[in-house]
Chains A and B, each alone.
Chain A
Amino acid sequence: MKTERRDEPAGVRIVIQEDLDMHVAGELQTALHGALHDKPKSLVVDLSGVGFIDSAGLAVIIECLKRARQASIAFHVENLSAQVKDTFEISGLTKILGIQ
Chain B
Amino acid sequence: MKDGVARDGPAGAAGPDERVELTIPSSPRHLSLVRVMARWLAEKAQLPERDWGRVELAAVEATTNIIRHAYGGDPTKVIRIRLREIEDGLEMEFLDDGKGAPPSALVGRDPSELEPGGLGIHMMKTCMDGFHYETRPGCGSRLVLRKLRPEGSDAAGSCGCGDSP
Contact = CB atoms under 8 A, between A and B. Distances in A.
Contacts of B110: 92
A16 to B, nearest CB: 16
A92 to B, nearest CB: 3
Nearest to A94: B111
Interface string B116-138: 10011011001100000000000
Nearest to B30: A23
Interface residues of A, number: 23
Interface of B: 28-29, 31-32, 35, 50, 53-54, 56-57, 60-61, 64, 67-68, 110-112, 114-116, 119-120, 122-123, 126-127
A95 B61 CA distance: 22
A62 B57 contact: no
A55 B120 contact: yes
B3 to A, nearest CB: 15
Interface string A31-63: 000000000000000000000101110110011
